[in-house]
Amino acid sequence: MLSRLLLLLAALAAFAAPAHATRIKDLGAFQGVRPNQLVGYGIVVGLAGTGDDNLEYATRGMSGIASRFGLTLPPGVNPALKNAAAVMITAELPAFARPGQRLDVTVSALGRARSLRGGTLVMTPLRGADDQIYAMAQGNLAVGGLGVSAQDGSQVSVNVPSAGRIPNGATVERAVDAGFASAPQLTFNLADADFTTARRVADAINGDLGQPLARAVDAVSIAIEAPLGAEPRTAMMSRIENILVTPADAPARVIVNARTGTVVINGAVRISPAAVSHGRLTVAVEENPTIVQPAPFSRGQTAEEQNSNIEVAEERVRMFEMAPGAELSDIVRAVNAIGAAPSDLVAILEALKQAGALRAELVVL
């Protein structure tokens, strides 16, 4: 299996076409054009006896909701809310979301509720990091999990019944100003830091616009001079997003997952001259106990005599040499020549890295 995987990687590297041009919009995003996280605390009601059951902050939350409608519980009265649960609501507010738009929300039990199946979220404000209300959530939960318990203590759970979602369960009440229309300049941020790619993006923007408006600030950011106003900047950003750029080659990297034995080597990996020898040592211990019978009329007892046999076998593998600048296909052939298992391959790669012969970043997961 390992040899097939390595041969497949070698074939892909050997027959791979030159790097193709990529749209700028696929390499990163404009600064400020991003989603914002929202969170809220609320109460889910209508549960079939699977709620928090006397959890203090759930009862307090329910008392607060009841007080909105003029209902005040007498002092010292505990409602024992088995059919209600305290929950946390999370949502993501997309960039340029406007009041009236709908959002999906995730509802998760905060206390001891066993299941939220069949529950309804009571109207809950969702706040941003600035503690301002940006959306209101309410609706019936869709719970994919199922939990059942019996009186003898036995339980059966399928997935997670203490969390659910409400599709289109929140309404946007306030928009977030992205600031791109009034900022001194536009900034495009690459998803992966690379000086060469940043420079190529800036050159491509300048070439397409016909003016030196873009400059690479660092390995991530490209600053772009743009006219003020939302409409002209929107048109300019739309044009920039669709410009084609050939990104720089990925750095040489070897990814090793020690738990699963998966090894991925990209085509940029090179090996300096090195000699490799890898053998296997096998120790076999065989136990053959012998039953010893006493002599007739000796009043002796039957006994067991231990008889152990230990064999040590070492597989002798010839040392092979890695040529200067060896590529992925050469590494694959060398590894297959010694029949290395996944764990052996990891050991060889680590040894090559320690010896300074592996010209790549070794990432062990």
Does the pLDDT value for residue 349 go beyond 90?
no
Alpha helices in the chain (DSSP H): 2-15, 56-68, 195-209, 230-241, 328-338, 342-354
C-alpha dist (Å) from residue 254 to 196, 318, 357 = 21, 25, 13
Q: How many domains does the chain have?
A: 3
Domain that holds residue 298: 253-364
The answer to whether residue 341 sits within a structural domain is: yes
Answer with the one of 194, 216, 245 that is the final residue of a domain: 245
Does the pLDDT value for residue 113 go beyond 80?
yes
pLDDT tens digits, one per residue of 216-247: 999 999 999 988 888 888 899 999 999 999 99
Residues 300, 281 within the same domain: yes
Residues 130, 71 within the same domain: yes
Residues 113, 217 within the same domain: no
Residues 353, 297 within the same domain: yes
Distance CA 240, CA 259 (A): 43
Residues 152, 130 within the same domain: yes
Residues 52, 135 within the same domain: yes
Residues 225, 156 within the same domain: no
Does the pLDDT value for residue 32 go beyond 70?
yes
Distance CA 133, CA 139 (A): 18
Residues 137, 191 within the same domain: no
Contact 29, 84 (CB under 8 A): no
Name every residue whose Cβ is closer than 8 Å to that of residue 85 and which is 6 or more positions away in sequence.
Answer: 43, 44, 47, 50, 51, 52, 58, 109, 110, 111, 113, 116, 119
The answer to whether residue 216 sits within a structural domain is: yes
pLDDT tens digits, one per residue of 81-91: 678 888 999 99
Instruction: Look up residue 248 and give its DSSP letter.
Output: P
Residues 194, 163 within the same domain: no
| Pairing outcome for strands 28-30 and 22-23 | unpaired
Residues 217, 266 within the same domain: no
pLDDT tens digits, one per residue of 59-100: 666 666 656 655 565 665 555 567 888 899 999 999 889 999
Q: Mean pLDDT throughout 258-273?
A: 74
